[in-house]
Amino acid sequence: MSFVFPPPAPPAVAIVGRTERFPVHRIYCVGRNYAAHAREMGKDPEREAPFFFTKPADAVAPSGAQLPFPSRTSDLHHEIELVVAIGTGGANIGISQALSHVYGYAVGLDLTRRDLQAEAKDKGRPWDTAKGFDRSAPIGAITPASEVQLAGSKIWLKVNGAVRQQGQLADMIWSVPEIIAELSTLFELAPGDLIYTGTPPGVAAIQSNDRLEGGVDGLEPLIVTLI
């Protein structure tokens, strides 16, 4: 097969303890999956069906990266999240089988141009420019599921050493198996898919030269700096 120009290298994420990398197929994100965050965004956290949005696969950026401050925003927000890496695909996956489709877990950031998101919401427009911009999905190294136990784990984010976000994975409105099952009724999941599972309360603006350090107990931390 020939191409009119060389295709770009496929996006990929480091794996803890492996030389191989995890190739990224698609990125799905769950909106408002922590009740306290839903409230701070002015929404009712009742347990309705989860909703999803996407980011391009090449929006990933590795831990340790220096991220250029994105254009066209004066209100960039951090959202720390547990990321689920799918290793086995499928459609209409049952809740009881969902975890068997998981390759591993990582810490991720859903960076958001909040001002553009607010404008899109006000005008009934898609969120793509607010959520799917370049390097909007930083992610740490993936820990294989067989090597981590996340029950009771805390999730947190520090900006310049000060705690901004903190919570527990148990605070999620929709659990990981429920998210996978629901998402698989909308899309046929494939190996390489990443699912960002929502953020706890404390989202706020960040600026150039800020250093962000986030973590989930049992996983490799994620550290990035805005420049």
How much is the pLDDT for 45? 63
**Residues 58, 63, 67, 72: is their CA dihedral positive or negative?**
positive
Return the amino acid letter for 32: R
Query: Given this model, what pLDDT does residue 48 score?
Result: 76
Q: What is the pLDDT of residue 49?
A: 82
State the chain's mean pLDDT as an integer: 95
- Domains recognised in the chain with CATH numbers: 12-226 (3.90.850.10)
Query: 82 or 32: whose pLDDT is higher?
Result: 82
Q: pLDDT tens for residues 156-166?
A: 999 999 999 99
Give the tens place of pLDDT for each residue, 110-160.
999 999 999 999 999 999 999 999 999 999 999 999 999 999 999 999 999
The residue length of the chain stands at: 227
